[in-house]
Amino acid sequence: MRYFITDDDPAIRSMLTHIIEKEDLGEVAGEAENGSFVSTPMLREKRVDVLLIDMLMPIQDGIETVKKLFQSNYSGKIVMISQVENKELIGQAYSLGIEYYITKPINRLEVVAVLQKVNEKVLLEKSLDDIRKSLRVLDVGDYKGKKSQPAREKQIMDSAKYILSELGILSETGSADLLEMVEILHQLEEEGRLRREFPRLQDVYMRIAEKRLGPKSSKSSLNKEMKASEQRIRRAISQALTHLASLGLTDYANPKFEYYAPKFFDFADVRRKMKDLDDDVDPGKSRISINIKKFIQVLYLEAKEELQK
């Protein structure tokens, strides 16, 4: 992954470069002290995947720079950095199309976590683009009839990973369980068994447990693994709700919030979560129910739809 850092403070640029290189997140392709040095042609020439840019800088600030970049069809990812906590300014940054917002003073753990998520998203998008290109090159109707099941399965799994990344939970432990559920649903659909009705969650949990432990495992071991899987999935979905609610709280017009929140969750629950976050309510005391079945159904359908874009 290639980064470009724009910040008027040389100490910040040096610190970010050190974190990126030490944590093996990629390489820094260049840096600048204000946005006037940054342009879409220059970033393309340097093959920059991710631009890290300060919000407030002399001559040309981050907001103005981001506007100009997207007006000139910049396609890379942008992470904004600033000590500003004004919700309107942060919301404006998200509405322009930035991926994440890192607060100053710089925290190494936050930087690493954010850049890992951005890296995952870049790689997933590249993978999906490759799949779409292959579909466009070949005759789609003939291709669908000839391509192997493993090929189709890999495509829908890549698509599901992209969506989990959009929901901010790809790095969560429960994401592996969710992906296995997508894989099982795909297999059931290939067998023609998904057209009648969505399978019971317990049956899907059992298939995951048997796949991990073996079908000859004891009933108690399988039940234990089923419960653990359900708990991991519930935590991951809860984190997705928190992520979307945070985006909505910062900017109600955030495109990710507008698209994913009403699809994956009942909007009353989203609003309730936003209020909990705004009131700093302890997550353990939240009374919001998690509809696992709905989430998984939507995830599978969205993964299929993503491949058609």
pLDDT under 50: residue ranges of the chain: 138-147
Pairwise CA distance, residues 96 & 81, whole Å = 15
pLDDT at 212: 87
Torsion of CA 185, 190, 192, 197, to 10 degrees: 10
Residues 6 or more apart whose CB falls under 8 angstroms from that of 291 comprise 265, 266
CB atoms inside a 10 Å sphere around CB 167? 25
Structural contact between residues 278 and 249, judged by C-beta atoms closer than 8 angstroms: yes
pLDDT at 196 (0 to 100): 61
Q: Specify the pLDDT at position 267.
A: 85
**47-89 pLDDT, tens digit each:** 999 999 999 898 998 989 999 998 888 889 999 998 877 777 7
Could you tell me the CA-to-CA distances from 162 to 69, 81, 151, 208, 251 in Å, in that order? 24, 24, 17, 21, 22
Give Cβ neighbours of residue 293 (< 8 Å, ≥ 6 apart): 198, 201
pLDDT of 268 reads 86
DSSP character string of the chain = -EEEEE-S-HHHHHHHHHHHHHTT--EEEEEESSGGG--HHHHHHTT-SEEEEESS-SSS-HHHHHHHHHHTT--SEEEEEES---HHHHHHHHHHT-SEEEESSP-HHHHHHHHHHHHHHHHHHHHHHHHHHHHHHS-HHHHHHHS-HHHHHHHHHHHHHHHHHHTT-TTSTHHHHHHHHHHHHHHHHHTT-TTT-PPPHHHHHHHHHHHHH-TTS-HHHHHHHHHHHHHHHHHHHHHHHHHHHHHHHH-TT-HHHHHHHHHHS-HHHHHHHHHHHHTT--GGG------HHHHHHHHHHHHHHHHH-
pLDDT value at position 147? 46
Q: What is the pLDDT of residue 144?
A: 45
Pull the structure tokens for residue 220: 């108690």
pLDDT recorded at residue 33: 93
Q: What is the pLDDT of residue 217?
A: 87
Contacts of 80 (CB under 8 A, 6+ apart): 52, 53, 54, 55, 62, 66, 93, 98, 100, 101, 102
Which residue ranges make up each domain of the chain?
2-116, 148-308
Predicted pLDDT of residue 152: 63
- Where b means 16+ CB within 10 Å and e means fewer, 70-82 reads eeeebebbbbbbb
Tell me how far the alpha carbon of residue 196 is from its chain's centroid: 31
Does 2.60.40.420 match the CATH number of domain 2-116?
Answer: no
- Distances from the Cα of 157 to the Cα of 128, 137, 242, 301, angstroms: 10, 21, 24, 12
Residue 270 corresponds to which amino acid?
V
